[in-house]
Amino acid sequence: MASSLRLNSTLKLNDGLSIPRLGLGVYLTQSADAIKHALQFGYRHIDTAQWYENEEVVGEGFKASGMKREDVWITTKIWDTNHGYNQTTKTLDESLKKAGLDFFDLVLIHSPNPGKEKRLETYRALIDAKKQGKIKSAGVSNYGVHHIKELLAQFPNDPPSINQIEISPFFQRKDIVTECRKHNIALQAYSPLGKGAFVDRPELHKIGEKYKKSPAQVLIRWSLQQDFIVLPKSSNEERIKANADLYDFELSKQDIDTLNAMETGKGVTWDPTKAP
Ligand SMILES: NC(=O)c1ccc[n+]([C@@H]2O[C@H](COP(=O)([O-])OP(=O)(O)OC[C@H]3O[C@@H](n4cnc5c(N)ncnc54)[C@H](OP(=O)(O)O)[C@@H]3O)[C@@H](O)[C@H]2O)c1
């Protein structure tokens, strides 16, 4: 229930793990302090990737926070040029070393772009890494409906726990969301603020005024009330804090309907979900 959401709320995944509902996006973040502050404010989930070249920074920030490893969820993603069984296994070890960690909570295939054979081999490497304890959960990102079907056909006993895709009221991805929900695959919403492009929208200000909340808080709260795991990015201490101040209000059904009617069918970033 939306009204019972807390900063430490989690979602149960199809592999039995519980993932914190709010994660800190760190694309373009090169500050270990930002990671440390987020954890001190109460974030318990950090979303990095090989592509972001900041796995070291995330590891540094985590260590500086003094948190216990089991209390923080850390995700990374296998980049397109690291697909294939051997290369995935090798670069996953490198990512662990860079972050100074013994395991990742979640590893995602960053995109399906490298093609069918490569992405299936990459997923096989993730399943084996899970058996070896290097990762707790295996998932995908930017997978369209046909990629999900392909993966489930090949790995019926090891479905991905998560599909991380761009989602906001302006780009709701209903076809992918429906397919994932059919198979109990959780959705992570990335670029929830439209990479910053949505934070001054007057229609969001208007909704936010009722609750004394900013457009960014309205957008992140919308995602939580859709049962998504949401990943706002900020490397600014004030905005990191504000983006987690979401638990003293609930968007009404009417406001959710207004937000749902803002669909444009267009995203703000890359879209590999249509890749062959
Ligand atoms: N799997 C994928 O392919 C993929 C693709 C894109 C993103 N992601 C993940 O999702 C995360 C979030 O997406 P994103 O980084 O694309 O964009 P986003 O979270 O939609 O927006 C981030 C931008 O908004 C600004 N911002 C943050 N909070 C704000 C606030 N309260 N008021 C005003 N401006 C604010 C940030 O600047 P400041 O830092 O200066 O606050 C930054 O410029 C990424 O960091 C990454 O972890 C994954």
Residue 268 lies in a domain: no
Residue 273 lies in a domain: no
With helix as H, strand as E and coil as C, how does the chain read? CHHHCCCCCEEECCCCCEEECECEECCCCCCHHHHHHHHHHCCCEEECCHHHCCHHHHHHHHHHHCCCHHHCEEEEEECHHHCCHHHHHHHHHHHHHHHCCCCEEEEEECCCCCCHHHHHHHHHHHHHHHHCCCEEEEEEECCCHHHHHHHHHHCCCCCCCEEEEECECCECCHHHHHHHHHCCCEEEEECCCHHHCCCCCHHHHHHHHHHCCCHHHHHHHHHHHCCCEECCECCCHHHHHHCCCCCCCCCCHHHHHHHHCCCCCCCCCCCHHHCC
Instruction: Name all residues whose Cβ lies below 6 A of ligand 1.
Output: 25-27, 47, 110, 141-142, 164, 190-196, 199, 214, 216, 231-236, 239, 242-243, 269
pLDDT band at 158 (very low <50, low <70, confident <90, very high): very high
**How many percent of the chain have pLDDT more than 70?**
99
The count of structural domains within the chain is 1
Residue 3 has pLDDT above 80, yes or no: no
| Ligand 1 center to 67 CA (angstroms) | 24
| Ligand 1 center to 13 CA (angstroms) | 24
Mean pLDDT lowest for which of 1-10, 94-103, 109-118, 236-245? 1-10
Residue 54 has pLDDT above 70, yes or no: yes
Residue 33 has pLDDT above 90, yes or no: yes
Catalytically active residues are 52
The phi, psi pair for 68, rounded to 5°, reads -80, 145
Q: Which one of 52, 143, 147, 193 would you pick to mutate in the ligand 1 pocket, going by the greatest count of ligand atoms within 8 A of its CB? A: 193
Average pLDDT over residues 236-261: 98
What is the per-residue pLDDT across 215-234, written as a single tens digit (0 to 9) for each?
999 999 999 999 999 999 99
The CATH number of whichever domain residue 200 belongs to comes to 3.20.20.100
Computed on alpha carbons and rounded to an integer, the radius of gyration of the chain in Å comes to: 18
Mean predicted lDDT score pLDDT of the chain: 97
Residue 269 lies in a domain: no
**The pLDDT value given to residue 1:** 43
Where in the sequence is the domain holding 111, given as residue range(s)?
Answer: 2-262
> Which atom of ligand 1 lies at the shortest distance from residue 240's CA?
28
pLDDT band at 249 (very low <50, low <70, confident <90, very high): very high
> Which atom of ligand 1 lies at the shortest distance from residue 243's CA?
31
Residue 2 has pLDDT above 70, yes or no: no
Residue 272 lies in a domain: no
**How many percent of the chain have pLDDT more than 90?**
99
**The pLDDT value given to residue 15:** 98
Residue 162 lies in a domain: yes
Residue 190 has pLDDT above 80, yes or no: yes
Residue 271 lies in a domain: no
**The pLDDT value given to residue 4:** 87
